Amino acid sequence: MEASVILPILKKKLAFLSGGKDRRSGLILTIPLCLEQTNMDELSVTLDYLLSIPSEKCKARGFTVIVDGRKSQWNVVKTVVVMLQNVVPAEVSLVCVVKPDEFWDKKVTHFCFWKEKDRLGFEVILVSANKLTRYIEPCQLTEDFGGSLTYDHMDWLNKRLVFEKFTKESTSLLDELALINNGSDKGSQQEKERSVDLNFLPSVDPETVLQTGHELLSELQQRRFNGSDGGVSWSPMDDELLAQPQVMKLLDSLREQYTRYQEVCRQRSKRTQLEEIQQKVMQVVNWLEGPGSEQLRAQWGIGDSIRASQALQQKHEEIESQHSEWFAVYVELNQQIAALLNAGDEEDLVELKSLQQQLSDVCYRQASQLEFRQNLLQAALEFHGVAQDLSQQLDGLLGMLCVDVAPADGASIQQTLKLLEEKLKSVDVGLQGLREKGQGLLDQISNQASWAYGKDVTIENKENVDHIQGVMEDMQLRKQRCEDMVDVRRLKMLQMVQLFKCEEDAAQAVEWLSELLDALLKTHIRLGDDAQETKVLLEKHRKFVDVAQSTYDYGRQLLQATVVLCQSLRCTSRSSGDTLPRLNRVWKQFTIASEERVHRLEMAIAFHSNAEKILQDCPEEPEAINDEEQFDEIEAVGKSLLDRLTVPVVYPDGTEQYFGSPSDMASTAEHIRDRMKLVNLKRQQLRHPEMVTTES
C-alpha cells in the first residue's frame, strides 16, 4: 500500500507513528480520537499502512498504542480497542487509553479491559494524560501528552510521499536499467539484432531520481544528527524504520546500474555514431564513384575554340561546385573519425581506419581527376588562345602581302620590308609557342588514359589529338604559304630598292654631268700664255672629257638596269621618260661645249706656236724676211680666235652659253692681241731694218 493512494485518509491523522518508543523500545502508535465520529474503515486502512512501515524486528518488540480518548466518547474508544485486536493483535503489547479527567469512572466499572487481556491479547490501561509518563518516558511523548517529542504530521506525510516515490521510481528504474544493461551484455551481434528492442530510454531521468535520493538521504541523516546532538526526538524514517538504509541501498544500486547504463549509452552512442559515419561515408563514396564520376566521364572534350573551351570550363566549375559540397562532408567526416581515433577505443580502430582510408582514397582520387580536368581545360584554353593570336597574325601578314606595293622611295620600301620581316618573325615565335602549348596539351591528354574515369578514353582522346594536330598543321601550312609569299615580296621589294637606287644614281649621274658642264663653262676658260701651257690645258681637258664620258656611260648603264628591273617588276619607271632625256640633253650640251673648248685650244696652240716661231727667229736670217705668208697666217688665226671668243656656245634647243664671264673673255682676248702686236712689230722690223738701227 502506498501513501499516495490513501493520501486523503492519511491527511486526517487518524493514527500516526510519532517515532517515540516505550521502555521496551517498542514503537508508539498514537490514535488521536476527536469529537467527530471516527470512520473505522479509514482508521483500519491507516493502521494497516502504518504497521507496514516498521521492520519485522521492530514489530517483534511490540507496539504501545496510545488511544487519545479525551475528545471522544467511551463507546468509540471501546470500538477502537476491540478493532486493534483484529488489526494488530500480535504486535500490540500495551494499549494506553488516555481518558478525560473523572469522566469515564462509572462506565469503566461496566467494562474492565484488564479482565479482557486474555481475550484481547494485549493489556489495556486507562490513564490520564498527566500520568502517562509512568509507562512512557516524557521524551518519547509528543507535546499533546506533555512530552518533548516534536512531531509534524504533514511534514512526515510529505517525507513519506517523497520516500515512497523515490522507492517506487528507483525500483522501477533499477529494473529498466538492469534490463537495458543485461541486454547489452549479451554480445555485440545479439545487440545488433535486438538493437531496436533495447534502444529505449528509462521512463524517468536517472539523474533526477539520484538527486531526489541524495536529498532524501541528506534529510534523513540530518534529522538523525540533529536528534542525537540536539536532543530532539528521531524521525519516523530513521534507521529503526529502515528508511535510511533502504535509501542508501537503493542509491548504491542506482549508481551501479546507472554507471553501467552510462557505459552502455556511451557504447551505443559510439556505435550509433560509427554507423552514422559509415552511412555518411558510403553516401560520399557512392556519390563520388557514381554521379560524380559520371559527370567527369561525360566531360572529355577540350573544345575547338576559345569560346568552346570557356563554356567547358564553366560547366566544369559547376561540377566542381557540386563536388565541393561532398568534399565539405568529407572534411567533417574526417574530423569526426580523427576524434574517434584519438579516443583510443581499440575495438573500433580497425574499422575507423578502414573507413577513413576508403573515404580519403575516393576523395583524393576524385579531387585529382577534377584538378587534372581543370588543368587540361586551362591548357586547351591557352592553346586556342595562342592559335587565335597566331591566326590573326597570319591574317594580318597575308593582308599585308595581298596589298600591292606602291612605295614612294627606297626608304619606305626598306621600312615596309623591315615591318614584313618583323611580322614574319612574330609569326615564327607564335608558331613555336603554339607547338609548345600543343605538345604540352598532347602530353596531358596522353596522361588522361592513366585516370580513364573508369572507362576507355582512346576514342575521345583521338578526336582531341586529331584536333590539336590539325590546328598545328593548318597553322604550319598557312605560315609556309605566307613565307613563300614573303620570299616573293622580299625579292620584289629588293628589286624595287635596286630600281630606286638605280634611278637615284642615274639622277645623280645627270647632276654630276651637269656639274661638269657647269665647271667646263665657268672655270675652263684659259687658253694659255704660250703653246706649251695651251697643250697642257688641252691634255687636262681631254682627261676632263674622259671623266664626263664615264659619268655619262655610268648613267646610261643605270638607266638600262632600271629598264630591266621595270620589266621584271612589270611597272613603269620614271627614268625612261625623264632621266634619260635629261642625261642625253646634258651630255649633248657637254659634248658641244667640249668640242668648242677643243677648237679654241687647238687654235690657241696654232697661234702661239707660229707666233713663238716668228718671235724667236733671228732677224739676220734673210729667209725670214720674205715669209709674209706666215705673218698673214698668224694674224688670220689670231683674228679667228678673237672672233670665236666672242661667239657663244649654241645648244640644239637654241639656248646659248658663254665660257666664263665677259671680263675673263676680255683678259684672254687682250693677251692674244698683245701677242699679235708683237708679231706685227716683228714683221715691221723685218721690213725696215734701218728703223731698228736708228732706234738702236
Q: Are 555 and 489 in the same domain?
A: no
Check residue 145 and give its pLDDT. Answer: 86
Proportion of the chain above pLDDT 70, given as a percent: 84
Beta-carbon contacts of 61 under 8 Å, excluding residues fewer than 6 positions away, are: 24, 25, 26, 27
Q: Are 534 and 461 in the same domain?
A: no
Give domain status of residue 11, yes or no. yes
Q: What is the mean pLDDT of the chain?
A: 80
| CB contact at 8 A, 244 and 220 | yes
| CB contact at 8 A, 431 and 477 | no
Q: Are 580 and 475 in the same domain?
A: no
Burial of 419 (0-12, 13-18, 19+ CB in 10 A): exposed
Distance from the Cα of residue 68 to its chain's centroid: 94
Give the model confidence (pLDDT) of 58-89 as tens digits: 888 888 899 988 888 888 888 888 888 777 65
Where on the phi/psi map is residue 13: left (φ > 0), alpha (ψ -120 to 50), or beta? left
Question: Beta partners for 126?
Answer: 97
Helix (H) or strand (E) segment spanning residue 597: helix 580-616
pLDDT confidence band for 272 (50 / 70 / 90): confident
| CB contact at 8 A, 254 and 174 | yes
CA 206 to CA 158: how far, in whole Å? 22
pLDDT confidence band for 644 (50 / 70 / 90): confident
Give domain status of residue 386, yes or no. no
Check residue 193 and give its pLDDT. Answer: 46
- Is residue 183 scored above 80 in pLDDT? no
Q: Are 566 and 654 in the same domain?
A: yes
Closest listed residue to residue 485, CA positions, set 568, 399, 415: 399
The pairing of strands 656-657 and 649-650 is antiparallel
Check residue 197 and give its pLDDT. Answer: 46
Question: Beta partners for 30?
Answer: 16, 66
Task: Among 437, 472, 494, identify where a domain stops.
Answer: 494
Give domain status of residue 669, yes or no. yes
Give domain status of residue 476, yes or no. yes
The number of beta carbons lying within 10 Å of the beta carbon of residue 242 is 16
What is residue 68's three-state secondary structure?
Answer: strand
Q: Are 628 and 567 in the same domain?
A: yes
| C-alpha cell of residue 419 | 615591318
Q: Are 41 and 147 in the same domain?
A: yes
Sign of dihedral through CA atoms 584, 588, 589, 591?
Answer: positive
What is residue 97's three-state secondary structure?
Answer: strand
Task: Among 89, 118, 151, identify where a domain stops.
Answer: 151
- Is residue 236 scored above 70 in pLDDT? no
Q: Are 578 and 467 in the same domain?
A: no
Closest listed residue to residue 355, CA positions, set 294, 293, 265, 283: 283
Check residue 347 and give its pLDDT. Answer: 67
Q: Are 535 and 682 in the same domain?
A: yes
The four Cα atoms 272, 273, 279, 283 give a dihedral, to 10 degrees, of: 160
| C-alpha cell of residue 622 | 734673210
Check residue 542 and give its pLDDT. Answer: 92
Q: How many CA atoms lie within 13 A of 385 on its CB side?
A: 10
Closest listed residue to residue 75, CA positions, set 102, 48, 38, 41: 38
Task: Among 118, 151, 184, identify where a domain stops.
Answer: 151
Give domain status of residue 298, yes or no. no
Query: Which residue type does 595 have?
Result: E
Q: Are 540 and 638 in the same domain?
A: yes
- DSSP 8-state symbol, 142: B
CATH number, domain at 602?
Answer: 1.20.58
pLDDT confidence band for 185 (50 / 70 / 90): low
For the chain, count helices (H), then strands (E): 21, 7
Query: Which residue type does 504 have?
Result: E
For residues 362-374, give the mean pLDDT.
Answer: 88
CA 136 to CA 149: how far, in whole Å? 12
The number of beta carbons lying within 10 Å of the beta carbon of residue 100 is 13
CATH number, domain at 121?
Answer: 3.40.525.10
Check residue 458 and give its pLDDT. Answer: 60
Give domain status of residue 547, yes or no. yes
What is residue 21's three-state secondary structure?
Answer: strand
Q: How many CA atoms lie within 13 A of 355 on its CB side?
A: 25
| C-alpha cell of residue 515 | 656639274
What is residue 454's three-state secondary structure?
Answer: helix
What is residue 191's three-state secondary structure?
Answer: helix
For residues 603-619, give the mean pLDDT.
Answer: 80
- Is residue 420 scored above 90 in pLDDT? no
Give the model confidence (pLDDT) of 291-333 as tens digits: 888 888 887 788 888 999 899 889 988 988 988 988 898 898 8
Q: Are 451 and 410 in the same domain?
A: yes
Please list the helix, strand and coil fractions of the chain in percent, rounded to the nearest 5, in that order. 75, 5, 20
Give domain status of residue 287, yes or no. no
The four Cα atoms 165, 167, 170, 173 give a dihedral, to 10 degrees, of: -80
CA 229 to CA 585: how far, in whole Å? 158
- Is residue 227 scored above 50 in pLDDT? no
| CB contact at 8 A, 311 and 386 | no
Q: Are 18 and 140 in the same domain?
A: yes
Q: Which of 51-60, 128-137, 150-159, 365-374 has the lowest mean pLDDT?
A: 51-60
Query: How many residues are recorded in the chain?
Result: 696
Q: Which of 207-221, 429-443, 646-660, 676-690 ranks highest by mean pLDDT? A: 429-443
Q: Is the pTM of this model over 0.75?
A: no
**Domain that residue 408 falls in:** 398-494
The number of beta carbons lying within 10 Å of the beta carbon of residue 336 is 18
Proportion of the chain above pLDDT 90, given as a percent: 10
Angle at CA of residue 150, ends 234 and 57, nearest 5°? 35
CA 73 to CA 329: how far, in whole Å? 85
Q: Are 551 and 650 in the same domain?
A: yes
Q: Which of 109-118, 218-227, 465-474, 567-576 has the lowest mean pLDDT?
A: 109-118
Task: Note the helical H segments in 6-152.
Answer: 7-11, 40-51, 56-60, 74-87, 105-108, 117-120
- Is residue 551 scored above 60 in pLDDT? yes
Angle at CA of residue 404, ends 482 and 476, nearest 5°? 5
Beta-carbon contacts of 173 under 8 Å, excluding residues fewer than 6 positions away, are: 202, 203, 204, 206, 209, 254, 257
CA 237 to CA 162: how far, in whole Å? 11
pLDDT confidence band for 110 (50 / 70 / 90): very low
Strand order through the sheet with 27-32: 16-21, 27-32, 63-68, 92-98, 123-127
For residues 490-503, give the mean pLDDT.
Answer: 81
Check residue 627 and give its pLDDT. Answer: 64
- Is residue 189 scored above 70 in pLDDT? no
Q: Which of 92-106, 427-441, 443-457, 623-637 has the lowest mean pLDDT?
A: 443-457
Closest listed residue to residue 207, CA positions, set 180, 171, 170, 181: 170
Helix (H) or strand (E) segment spanning residue 29: strand 27-32
Structure-model confidence comparison of residues 188 and 609, the more confident one? 609
| Domains held by the chain: number | 3
Give domain status of residue 452, yes or no. yes
Check residue 388 and give its pLDDT. Answer: 92
Angle at CA of residue 219, ends 214 and 223, nearest 5°? 150
- Is residue 465 scored above 80 in pLDDT? yes
